[in-house]
Amino acid sequence: MQSDDDSPQADGQSLLRVAGARRTFLTPEGSAVRALDGVDLNIRPNEFLTLLGPSGCGKTTLLRAIAGFEDLDGGRLELEGRSLEDVPPHRRPFNTVFQSYALFPHLDARDNVGYGLDAARVPRAERERRVDEALALVGLSELGRRRPRQLSGGQQQRVALARALVNRPRLLLLDEPLSALDRGLRQAMQIELKNLQHTVGITFVVVTHDQEEALTMSDRIAVMRAGRILQLGPPGRIYDTPADRFVARFVGDSNVHAGRVAAVSARGALITLDEGFELHAEGTGFAPGEAVDAMLRPERLMLAREPGAGPALQAVVERVVFVGADVQVHLRLPGGAALRALHRHLPGAEPPPNVGGQAFIRYEPAAVHLMRSAP
Amino acid sequence: MSRRGAPLDWALGAWGIAFLAVLYLPIALVLAYSFNRNVVNMMVWEGFTLDWYRSIFGLATRLAEDASYVHSTEGLVHAARNSVVVALAATAVSTVVGTATALAMARHRFRLRPLYQALLVMPMVMPDIVLGVALLVFFVGAGMTLGLGTIVMGHCVFLASYVFVVVSARLAGMGADLEEASADLGAGPWTTFRRVTLPQVAPGVAGGALLAFIISMDDLVITYFIAGVESTTLPVFIYGMLRRGMKPEINAIAMLLLAFSFVIAATGLWLRARRR
Amino acid sequence: MSGALSARRRRALAGLLAPHSLLLAAFFVVPLAIMAVYSVLTPGLYGGVEWEFYPYGYGRVLGAPLGEVEEFDPVYGEILLRSLRLALTTVVVTLLLCYPAAFWVSRLPPRRRALVLFLVTLPFFANLIVRVYAWMLILRPTGVLNQLLGLAGLPAADLMFSETAVVIGLCYVLLPFMFLPLYAAVERLDPALVQASRDLGAGALFTFRRVILPLTAPGILGGCILVFIPAFGNFVVASLLGGAKVMLVGNLIEQQFLAARNWPFGAALAMLLLAAVLVLLVVYVVRTPHPEGVR
């Protein structure tokens, strides 16, 4: 597994360490599913970490194991160097915002928020003060006496957040926190969650399958698949230099083509793609003859009527799709390869090419990202 | 609805009304006859009276002495008291036991679970006469005196299963989310049970207890085998009366019993409907 | 890591299951086991048993080699067959009564549907003995039925103490056991499926046979079993509405325990009844598709 950490010294400031975590489930049909297949992860103090992956990749299992709801079959969890093995969920200084929110329907918002303080036998006056603060923090001071049923989805989510944060956990675990909200509210909450994390200074670990959400909110993203972490790093790094074709396709829109390094020189590398075209890339660290996957982000391709000074590919325009601010252009290379390019639709700029016409795809070698070939 | 569906709808409606009539007409008849003044032939309507009800409660009536079995209400009151005592005790025990089992089965997976579940359902689905004679053989073999105690134990065997089923249905709609949230917020298992699980399952537990109470009050077959001479319950008492012949005050007793179970059942069904 | 949580859960599980397990062990499993043993012991002269192996309680019913006291007598086979016949008749009649009614209820507007469901469920909670008694009022020679027939100028029907009376009583008492599972299945039936069938050109009968019947089959099977078991083992209805004329297995068992005092024979009969029920339940569990299996 590749640990694409910010700095190797990061171990020094680890809050929670996950080492070699394994967990296997038995399906009702009797086959075994490896939900966690050897996960190593250092969660740092005061960071916003996102576990990103498709459903069934093990991200929720990892979150539940940290919270203490799942046993691990193997591996360790350490909070600042102390093992969590014998610590049941209610003794762990972590709190969770559940996907369903799991608000207690028989308690009003105030009592939901005060629940953890009651369990910890916090004195009455302090309890009231902290509940007030927490409700104010999420902007619900007025609605404390409402039952969960009387609150909207977004308000319920805020109560769930307040209920978790009021206990000042070392780690706040959020399981798909925004999935139940509609699109507009979701985008507003992404920003708000990020601001909130900054305000309270608590480490957030968020599980999501929404790459846009992950890119917007996170300090670091761990992309997971089939019980493993494929890549761990800040959003920019994940987006620009994905570790393999799976990450490239899961995060953002991308053109990924398999090929081989044909030649390497001081100025860069020449890649021959399996579909019969060539790409120029910058210096790579790959040796000639090595199998690679080449990725081109659509927004880094420029369409023109003539080839320019740099490298370019000649293609036929197959389809032009309007996607809001941009126009997505589907192109076909002579060898049969399909590429997508984003054409920025600015006033006074060149209009998008005509369907059926010829176009040149210009790119900079720096825009070509090479990855280990994956099956 | 299409025009072709209309006659079908009409036929279904007629069938449905007839169905309800079949369910309620026999009961309505008992009600009507319980007010019949005719002492000589209870099947011939002679006029309205409340005397049969009065005779049950030992009040003065204008009835001839021999018209009624209930010369004194002692036997009837005794049987009724036995029924209530047994039902209360058996309901209390089986509610606790069945609820605990429902909690265990809903939140834990273990290898013998399907087998255990089958065992739990057995006392409900097997013919009650089999359980009745098995308990008789057992109690006599163990040298226990047949009486209220043995009836309570016998009732608990199948009532606990009913409570288990009702509470399980409630728990099935709950999920483990709330309990996990409680643990996550630092509450220990006991606090979680008291403050989250119990308030959530309470309607189910109440429903299960009401059902258990009604079934215990209603049980004839099992009680019939394991009741001692001095510990007759109401259904067994009425069964004995009916085997000796029909007398008009049975109508009144039947109606009172019916009203009693309907009130409890209606309460239970209303509670359940209100929670939705 | 794996140990801590699971150990805690195991302890909680054991604690919660202990009371019910003890209850069932002491008052269910052990009594049934004792009865199984009794069924192959020698009947005592004045009730009770003697501890000697003696399989002729079963022989008396099934026709195995003759013992000293017990003799094979076809009358017991007849009683078994009669119980079976009446139970099956009850199943068929309740099914025919309830199936259309279930559709009727499922098509009612929500508020009225809730009311009707309440009305259908309510008699289920009424005392069994009261409900049987109501039919004694109707069916006895001077009863309501004959009064009505007399008013219509028809000859009186002598139904009391007949197999018909017993079947009527069983049907009335067991109606809710058939209705509720049927209704659950009918309600789950998506009307869009019926519409889709009609849309594809299927006639009403074809739709019923190919869509409605298969989809409600689990409810039908469940209702049939829930009605059959208590009908087969019933003795109260038969003793009140059938009298001495209609003897069923239940009455025979009662007689052996309370009158004849031949406990081993009674136990053998009870074991046979139990075996029949277990076979039925196994059939039900095996034939009912597993929820996950459907997808």
C145 pLDDT above the threshold of 90: no
Contact state of B187 with A119 under an 8 Å Cβ cutoff: yes
Contact state of A86 with C4 under an 8 Å Cβ cutoff: yes
C292 pLDDT above the threshold of 50: no
**Whether the Cβ atoms of residue C250 and residue C169 lie closer than 8 Å to each other:** no
- Split at pLDDT 50, 70, 90, the class of C71 is low
Task: Mention the CATH class of domain B72-245.
Answer: mainly alpha
Is residue C6 assigned to a domain? no
- Split at pLDDT 50, 70, 90, the class of C92 is very high
Dihedral sign of CA atoms B178, B183, B189, B195 in order: negative
**Domain regions of chain B by residue span:** 3-67, 72-245
Contact state of A96 with B180 under an 8 Å Cβ cutoff: yes
Is residue C179 assigned to a domain? yes
Q: So what's the pLDDT on residue B63?
A: 63
CA dist., res. B183 & res. A89, Å (int):
6
B199 pLDDT above the threshold of 60: yes
Q: So what's the pLDDT on residue C67?
A: 58
Q: So what's the pLDDT on residue A240?
A: 92
Q: So what's the pLDDT on residue A9?
A: 42
Q: So what's the pLDDT on residue C183?
A: 94
Is residue C199 assigned to a domain? yes
- Split at pLDDT 50, 70, 90, the class of A106 is confident
C170 pLDDT above the threshold of 90: yes
Tell me what the mean pLDDT of segment A292-308 comes to.
89
Q: So what's the pLDDT on residue C57?
A: 77
Contact state of C4 with A74 under an 8 Å Cβ cutoff: no
CA dist., res. A54 & res. A251, Å (int):
11
Helix/strand/coil for A282 = coil
User: What DSSP line would sit under B143-162, residue for residue?
Assistant: TPPPSHHHHHHHHHHHHHHH
CA dist., res. A171 & res. A306, Å (int):
55
Single pTM value for the model: 0.79
Buried/exposed B259-272: b ≥16 CB within 10 Å, e otherwise: ebbbebbeebbeeb
Instruction: Provide the residue type at C61 as one letter.
Output: V
Give the count of domains, chain C: 1
Contact state of B138 with C277 under an 8 Å Cβ cutoff: no
- Split at pLDDT 50, 70, 90, the class of B66 is low
Strands across the sheet with A358-362, in order? A302-304, A358-362, A312-323, A326-332, A338-344
Query: Which segments of A218-319 does DSSP mark as H helices, in order?
Result: 235-240, 245-250
ipTM above 0.85, yes or no: yes
Instruction: Provide the residue type at A169 as one letter.
Output: P
Instruction: Provide the residue type at A106 as one letter.
Output: H
pLDDT in tens, C221-262: 999 999 999 999 888 999 999 887 888 999 999 988 888 788
Tell me what the mean pLDDT of segment C116-134 comes to.
88
CA dist., res. A89 & res. A92, Å (int):
5
CA dist., res. C234 & res. C227, Å (int):
11
pLDDT in tens, C251-263: 999 988 888 788 8
Which range of residues forms the domain containing residue C164? 105-246
* Bridge partners, B235 (sequence order): none
Helix/strand/coil for C55 = coil
CA dist., res. A194 & res. A133, Å (int):
19
- Most confidently modeled of A154-158, B227-231, C46-50? A154-158
**Whether the Cβ atoms of residue C144 and residue C138 lie closer than 8 Å to each other:** yes
Test mutation, B97, B99, B164, chain C, max C CBs within 10 A? B97
- Split at pLDDT 50, 70, 90, the class of B60 is low
- Looking at the complex, report in whole angstroms how far the Cα of residue C8 sits from the nearest Cα belonging to chain A: 9
CB neighbours of residue C63 within 10 Å: 13
- Split at pLDDT 50, 70, 90, the class of C70 is low
CA dist., res. A286 & res. A373, Å (int):
11
Residue predicted with more confidence, A70 or C92 = C92
pLDDT in tens, C1-22: 345 556 777 888 888 999 999 9
Q: So what's the pLDDT on residue A8?
A: 41
B47 pLDDT above the threshold of 90: no
Contact state of A89 with B183 under an 8 Å Cβ cutoff: yes
- Split at pLDDT 50, 70, 90, the class of B2 is very low
CA dist., res. A322 & res. A325, Å (int):
8
**Whether the Cβ atoms of residue B155 and residue B216 lie closer than 8 Å to each other:** yes
Task: Indicate which CATH number applies to the domain containing C110.
Answer: 1.10.3720.10
- Looking at the complex, report in whole angstroms how far the Cα of residue A87 sits from the nearest Cα belonging to chain C: 8
| Residue B124, token pair as written in the block | 């409900």
**Whether the Cβ atoms of residue A134 and residue A202 lie closer than 8 Å to each other:** no
CA dist., res. C259 & res. C10, Å (int):
49
Closest CA to A112 of A127, A99, A94, A90: A127
Chain A residue whose CA is closest to B179 = A102
Q: So what's the pLDDT on residue A52?
A: 95
Helix/strand/coil for A302 = strand
Instruction: Provide the residue type at A230 as one letter.
Output: L
Partners for B (CB, 8 Å, 3+ pairs)? A, C
Chain C residue whose CA is closest to A27 = C292
CA dist., res. C86 & res. C81, Å (int):
9
Q: So what's the pLDDT on residue B71?
A: 52
Instruction: Provide the residue type at A289 as one letter.
Output: G
- Split at pLDDT 50, 70, 90, the class of C293 is very low
Flag the least confident range among A27-31, A181-185, A238-242, B246-250: A27-31
Whose tokens are 């739709």? That residue is C207
- Split at pLDDT 50, 70, 90, the class of C27 is very high
Tell me what the mean pLDDT of segment B58-73 comes to.
60
Whose tokens are 């209360």? That residue is B88
Q: So what's the pLDDT on residue B267?
A: 83
Is residue C235 assigned to a domain? yes
Q: So what's the pLDDT on residue A14?
A: 87
- Split at pLDDT 50, 70, 90, the class of B276 is very low
- Most confidently modeled of A127-136, B253-262, C146-155? A127-136
* Bridge partners, C50 (sequence order): C42
- Split at pLDDT 50, 70, 90, the class of B72 is low
Mean residue pLDDT of chain A comes to 88
- Out of B185, B195, B200, name the one closest to residue A95 (CB): B185
Tell me what the mean pLDDT of segment C25-37 comes to.
94
Test mutation, C49, C113, C127, C167, chain B, max B CBs within 10 A? C127
CA dist., res. C51 & res. A241, Å (int):
85
Distances (CA, A) of A141 to A126, A178, A270: 16, 21, 62
Residue predicted with more confidence, C48 or A279 = A279
- Out of A76, A77, A88, name the one closest to residue C8 (CB): A88
- Most confidently modeled of B88-92, B113-117, C215-219? B88-92
Dihedral sign of CA atoms C174, C178, C180, C183 in order: negative
Test mutation, C133, C144, C146, C159, chain B, max B CBs within 10 A? C133
A1 pLDDT above the threshold of 50: no
CA dist., res. A216 & res. A174, Å (int):
15
Flag the least confident range among A271-285, A334-348, B38-52: B38-52
Closest CA to A161 of A101, A201, A216: A101
Torsion-angle region of residue B49: left (phi > 0), alpha (psi -120 to 50) or beta? beta
Instruction: Provide the residue type at B247 as one letter.
Output: K
Q: So what's the pLDDT on residue B173?
A: 76
Share of chain A above pLDDT 90, in %: 56
